[in-house]
Structure 1
Amino acid sequence: MTMLKYPIFMVHGMGFRDHKILNYWGRIPAVLEENGCRIFYGNQDSTASAEDNAEMLAGRVNEILKETGSPKINVIAHSKGGLDIRCAISKYNLGDKVASVTTISTPHHGSVTVDKLLKLPDVLVRLVAICTDIAFRILGDKKPDAYSVFKLFTTKEAEIFNEKYPDAKNVYYQSYAFVMSSPFSDIFLWFPSLVVWLIEGTNDGLLTPNSVKWGNFKGIIRSNSRRGISHCDEVDMRRCRLTRKKGKNVSDITDFYAGVVSELAEMGY
């Protein structure tokens, strides 16, 4: 693998935190480190608003640059983490400190499914949000705000967000989409996947390819297995290969990330 010029800043999505024992990214960081990459984590809240997490991430970026002496970082963000870091770069003028942003299944354009779900009585949505906030405050979140996050995932709020926080001109943005073979390909996501499938079509258990396109869209990543690749598989939740089968697609998600990093290195990042 060609060596990266800048460290990698990995930004997690909603519903999880960065823990040393139970790493959000599974085997991925270790594989990248074995290939000479320097890895750092966002450590932002799980369910805070994009704006609150942006403040946390901006602080982390400055800490990493000071610690490493590097002038810039490369960002790899999954799911909502992509919105958090985009907000941070735009709001806190980090364009000169970030070389590239790679988003993995980030809902840049919101979700039509969420649009429909939020037509439920607002009191019910707020109740779910309050329960979510309580749970994640116990788990360590400082500013949980699930209600604002739910709203952010609508297509209308996504459009407002994109206009409010434009991309930095000197940062390279790219995105990837993934899909499951059927709604029942992942036992953990079969129900949300089925709902999204009925409303919008093919998805990774939560999001469709049209929802996650941003910057240089690198396409839909598929696996050599019958299951496809789910939102959980994207961050190696199972800590194992997708399949032993070989082919033109992905058999181990760590190989995908190694390929992403190799391409960034060849581009001078």
Structure 2
Amino acid sequence: MKTRFASFLIAAAATFVGLLPAANVQAAGYTQTKYPIVLVHGLFGWDTIAGTVDYWYKIPDALRADGAKVYVTQVSAANSTEVRGEQLLSQVKQILAITGASKVNLVGHSHGGPTARYVAGVAPALVASVTSVGGVNRGSDFADAVRGVLPDGSPLTAAAKTLVDSTLVALIQTLSGNGQLPANAEAALVSLTTAGSNAFNKKFPAGIPTTACGEGAYVVNGVRYYSWGGNKQFTNLLDVGDAALGLTGAFFNGKANDGLVSSCSMNLGQVIRTDYKMNHLDEVNQFFGLVNIFETSPVEVYRQQANRLKNAGL
């Protein structure tokens, strides 16, 4: 009996070991999309600071490891969607010239979602897909609350804009080597409010759902639209950002949100999921990978999306 059991264990182990090479073969090229993947940061975002602190923590390398061509862009850390969109369009054209590709797959986080949608709207021939991650596609309740305190034309608003532009935004852009980019924190705020988002959506409606929490058109003008995001604020006790997102999340009056964007506002085109146990920073694997250990790694979700694009011929 013992001999038979030992033989069974040996056979099972051999089978498991024999499967390992097959798994590696399957992983090869897993993220190898037809078109380059272009990452677009959100409000107060950057590409890399001092060459060491990445906004998209470990995500580009993970995508490249299995075949993807990945480019990380830098647009104004704070400005209107249209200004940021024009900056992104210029970089997309440069990427296409460098790679010889005819299109790109845009992946935008937070304000990067509408920024990517702008490019797809004005130059759809250059865009294969737009993936919105925690995207502010129909405004943010927190942005609405801030705008209520800082209305248009208020002296307090002017003072706050000057302070943010000259300190936080200037610091981010200088440390990332992009100090020349124009800054306008008030324009960014307006773009992220419900009213600002609605005005933008009238000009660029592609992928926007027609119901409160539904899906939008999957394909518009040859561009495929996807979205995903989280619905938690507190996900890791060691993450200092969770407390701040817990406070901002209180402005959503009980609606599911990631701390800065409601789950329904994230919806665009084909909704992969907007109920990951992630907050707004987790969606880009920040801070430094301190995310929910009981949820799929954000890095893996990006890999899955790249594979989805690959399988769609994109």
| Cα contact 2:142–2:251 (8 A) shared by 1 | no
Aligned residue number for residue 82 of structure 2: 51
- Does the residue aligned with 2:156 lie in a helix, a strand or coil? helix
1:31-70 counterparts in 2 under 5 A?
Answer: 31-70=62-101
Aligned residue number for residue 170 of structure 2: 137
1:1-269 counterparts in 2 under 5 A?
Answer: 1=30, 3-19=32-48, 20-90=51-121, 93-121=122-150, 122-135=154-167, 136-138=169-171, 139=174, 140-167=179-206, 169-180=221-232, 182=234, 186-201=239-254, 202-222=256-276, 228-240=277-289, 242=291, 249-250=295-296, 252-269=297-314
CA offset digits 1:37-77 (Å, max 9, x no partner): 00112221111221211111111111111111111111111
Aligned counterparts of 2:251 and 2:115: Cα–Cα separation in 1: 29
| Cα contact 1:51–1:88 (8 A) shared by 2 | no
Unaligned 5+ runs, structure 1 = 223-227
Aligned counterparts of 2:292 and 2:249: Cα–Cα separation in 1: 25
CA offset digits 1:145-201 (Å, max 9, x no partner): 110111112111110111122335211111112021659965314234334335332
Amino acid at match of 2:271: F
Aligned counterparts of 2:312 and 2:187: Cα–Cα separation in 1: 37
Pair 1:94–1:193, CA change in 2 (3 A)? same
- Does the residue aligned with 1:43 lie in a helix, a strand or coil? coil
Pair 1:243–1:13, CA change in 2 (3 A)? closer
- Once the 2 structures are TM-superposed, how far is the Cα of residue 32 of structure 1 from its aligned partner? 0.5
- Does the residue aligned with 1:62 lie in a helix, a strand or coil? helix
Aligned counterparts of 1:10 and 1:145: Cα–Cα separation in 2: 22
Unaligned 5+ runs, structure 2 = 1-29, 207-219
Amino acid at match of 1:55: E
Amino acid at match of 1:218: I
**What is the percentage of aligned positions where both structures have the same residue?**
26
- Once the 2 structures are TM-superposed, how far is the Cα of residue 124 of structure 1 from its aligned partner? 2.5
Aligned counterparts of 1:113 and 1:57: Cα–Cα separation in 2: 25
Mean alpha-carbon deviation: is it higher for 106-115 or for 5-14? 106-115
Larger % of helix: which?
2
Amino acid at match of 1:143: P
Aligned counterparts of 2:165 and 2:292: Cα–Cα separation in 1: 37
Q: When the two structures are aligned, how many residues end up with a matched partner? A: 258
Aligned residue number for residue 225 of structure 1: none
| Cα contact 2:104–2:126 (8 A) shared by 1 | yes
- Does the residue aligned with 1:218 lie in a helix, a strand or coil? strand
- Does the residue aligned with 1:25 lie in a helix, a strand or coil? coil
Mean alpha-carbon deviation: is it higher for 99-108 or for 166-175? 166-175
Q: Which has the greater radius of gyration?
A: 2
Aligned residue number for residue 14 of structure 2: none
Aligned counterparts of 1:26 and 1:132: Cα–Cα separation in 2: 25
Q: TM-score, normalised by structure 2?
A: 0.76
Aligned counterparts of 1:241 and 1:129: Cα–Cα separation in 2: 31
Aligned counterparts of 2:272 and 2:129: Cα–Cα separation in 1: 14
| Cα contact 2:141–2:251 (8 A) shared by 1 | no
Pair 1:241–1:188, CA change in 2 (3 A)? closer
- Once the 2 structures are TM-superposed, how far is the Cα of residue 203 of structure 1 from its aligned partner? 1.7
